[in-house]
């Protein structure tokens, strides 16, 4: 029986005890609060016009669309700022990702996430396991993790470009570099963010397009694995992911997948309406929060 877990921003935000950088108690934010967090860090977010800042504060995705139009050559720097911010989050004792891994480590389902942070990877590491960015773990302690919107630790390798900016505003859904992608260590991410001045990490723009400026092929491969496995899974747990039909690669895929979807989140009614509208009859809302879902998942795994 193939089992998938699909996580969204609400999972990391609601994953319990987290530390940011060394000792600050803080969880990754939901999208509506991300720009405020980046503003506190300075960087490119603090350089936008007051009008653009208001758009970002109202909707990060709309703000990113406007940033693409007006500040195109600064996109790589903005992505570096996001990578530097997200890499700093660490799961604390009792974090729900860590607790979930204790429950599912024998079943070894495939983990899929839209998040840029490394809470899942770090929780696996603390459990003596390793995240393998592909569908099939290559050794006993490997755990399949697919990051379908990229990750703060995905970076181009073998590239030495400095002192220039890239204007891709004239080409729809353009990429800057399609070079090979490597997985950086945490210290490596900080180093890359601090020394690079032209390129950035392989993370999707936080906008409706989910455009990839770097490593498009690498992340597309992750996404294609997700599409294939979703259509083979008997059960999919969706945790902390808002229903957004514009994200067709997620919700279009879920709408036609043959397996049962067990949903966790505060939008249960929205999910059930979506499920009904897609002619699905076996889907369930199993909990409102990540924490409350753990006991249900444990019973299901028994």
pLDDT digits 0-9 by tens, 69-127? 999 999 999 999 999 999 999 999 999 999 999 999 999 999 999 999 999 999 999 99
Last residue of a domain, one of 198, 214, 230: 214
Same domain, residue pair 107 and 77: no
Same domain, residue pair 225 and 282: yes
CATH number at residue 272: 3.40.50.1220
CA 144 to chain centre: 15
Per-position DSSP letters for 156-187, written without gaps between them: E-S----S-----TTSTT--SB---EEE--HH
Same domain, residue pair 80 and 171: yes
Same domain, residue pair 224 and 292: yes
Same domain, residue pair 187 and 225: no
Looking at residue 287, its pLDDT comes to: 98
Same domain, residue pair 147 and 158: no
Same domain, residue pair 182 and 129: no
7: three-class secondary structure by DSSP: strand
Same domain, residue pair 207 and 262: no
Same domain, residue pair 232 and 286: yes
Cα gap 35→206, rounded to integer Å:
11
Last residue of a domain, one of 214, 234, 256: 214
Last residue of a domain, one of 170, 194, 214: 214
Q: Could you report how far apart the first and last alpha carbons of the chain are, in Å?
A: 14
pLDDT digits 0-9 by tens, 201-248? 999 999 999 999 999 999 999 999 999 999 999 999 999 999 999 999
Same domain, residue pair 297 and 224: yes
Looking at residue 1, its pLDDT comes to: 63
Same domain, residue pair 276 and 244: yes
pLDDT digits 0-9 by tens, 176-199? 998 899 999 999 999 999 999 999
| pTM value surpassing 0.85 | yes
**Residue 112 burial by CB count (10 A; 0-12/13-18/19+): exposed, middle or buried?**
buried
Same domain, residue pair 11 and 159: no
């Amino acid at each position: 029986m193939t089992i998938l877990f699909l996580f969204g921003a609400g999972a990391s935000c609601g994953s319990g005890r987290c530390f940011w950088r060394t000792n600050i108690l803080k969880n990754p934010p939901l999208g509506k609060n991300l720009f405020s967090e980046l503003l506190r860090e300075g960087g490119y977010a603090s350089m936008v016009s007051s009008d653009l800042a208001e758009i970002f504060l109202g909707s990060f995705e709309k703000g990113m669309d406007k940033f693409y139009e007006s500040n195109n050559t600064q996109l790589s720097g903005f992505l570096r700022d996001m990578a530097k911010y997200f890499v700093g989050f660490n799961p604390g004792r009792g974090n729900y990702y860590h607790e979930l891994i204790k429950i599912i480590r024998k079943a070894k389902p495939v983990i899929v996430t839209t998040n840029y942070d490394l809470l899942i990877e770090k929780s696996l590491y603390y459990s003596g396991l390793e995240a393998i960015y592909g569908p099939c773990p290559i050794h006993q302690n490997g755990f399949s993790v697919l990051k379908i919107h990229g990750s703060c630790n995905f970076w181009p390798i073998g590239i030495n470009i400095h002192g220039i900016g890239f204007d891709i505003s004239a080409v729809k859904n353009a990429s800057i570099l399609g070079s090979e992608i490597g997985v950086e260590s945490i210290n490596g991410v900080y180093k890359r963010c601090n020394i690079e001045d032209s390129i950035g990490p392989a993370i999707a723009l936080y906008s409706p397009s989910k455009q990839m400026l770097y490593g498009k092929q690498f992340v597309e491969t992750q996404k294609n694995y997700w599409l294939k496995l979703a259509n083979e899974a008997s059960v999919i747990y969706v945790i902390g992911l808002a229903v957004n039909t514009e994200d067709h690669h997620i919700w279009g895929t879920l709408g036609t997948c043959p397996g049962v979807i067990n949903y966790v989140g505060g939008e249960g009614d929205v999910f059930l309406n979506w499920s009904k509208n897609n002619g699905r009859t076996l889907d369930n809302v199993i909990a409102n929060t990540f924490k409350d879902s753990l006991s249900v998942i444990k019973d299901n795994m028994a």
